[in-house]
Structure 1
Amino acid sequence: MSLVSQCRDMREARGKTLTEIGRVLGMASQNLSAILLGKKDSRASTLEALAAALDAEWVLVPNERAQEVRQVLEGKGSGPDRSARSAVDIFLDQE
């Protein structure tokens, strides 16, 4: 999924209008629309500002880790078992 399409999806998910985001960026909503539709290229600084306006940030993920990151973002990834007792707790219980 491209960065631009992620920004477009996040804008919709956050319920932000093109006008609202454009106002924050100091950009006409028509120009913002063209960027989000992939019809116009944009500078990285504009995309960074767009991400910030959406309360998000860019993250560069190596291709070999991309699938794992997608799974975590979808809530399907594995992470630490927060309910498991730590090694310190086990050690302290042995005393």
Structure 2
Amino acid sequence: MPSFYDQLQSRRAARKSTLGEVARLIGMAPSNLTTALSGKHDVRASTLEAIGAALDAEWVLVPREHLLAVRRLIEGKDSGPDREAKTSVEMFLEQAS
């Protein structure tokens, strides 16, 4: 699974947000944001919360017993049943008619 900082970078790229835009939204100098996103320095939780909010995302604490399920969900491998798919009964009735 990608690191937290890699996930922040991916989220920023997915939203097509520049570092300058995110920095402006959270009131931080772009150079300080670059340092924060590098993952090489400790960053305050409030800063991470602000970055997450600017990227329309949140960071959460996941209990270890649920970590695998959360990872699978994030990777799109465990998204649940396809509610739009036809049931076997519906497919049978279509074939019968």
TM-score bin, normalised by smaller chain:
0.7 to 0.9
Alignment of 1:5-84 (within 5 A): 5-77=6-78, 79-80=80-81, 82=83
Cα-Cα RMSD: 2.0
With normalisation by structure 1, the TM-score equals 0.75
One-letter amino acid of the structure 2 residue matched with residue 18 of structure 1: L
Give distance in 2, aligned partners of 1:49 and 1:76: 29
CA distance 1:17–1:65, shift in 2 (3 Å): same
Matched-pair identity in %: 55
**Which segment drifts farther, 47-56 or 67-76?**
67-76
CA distance in 1, matches of 2:51, 2:79: 30
User: In the TM superposition, what is the alpha-carbon distance from 1:39 to its structure 2 partner?
Assistant: 2.6
Q: Distance in 2 between matches of 1:46 and 1:53?
A: 11
List structure 1 runs of 4+ shifted beyond 3 angstroms: 80-85
Deviation at 1:58, TM superposition (A): 1.3
Q: Which consecutive unaligned segments of at least 5 residues does structure 2 have?
A: 88-97
The aligned length equals 85
Q: Secondary structure at the match of 1:61?
A: coil
Q: How far is the alpha carbon of 1:78 from its aligned partner?
A: 5.0
Q: Give ranges in structure 1 of 5+ residues lacking alignment.
A: 86-95
Q: Distance in 2 between matches of 1:43 and 1:78?
A: 32
Query: 1:68: Cα distance to partner?
Result: 1.2
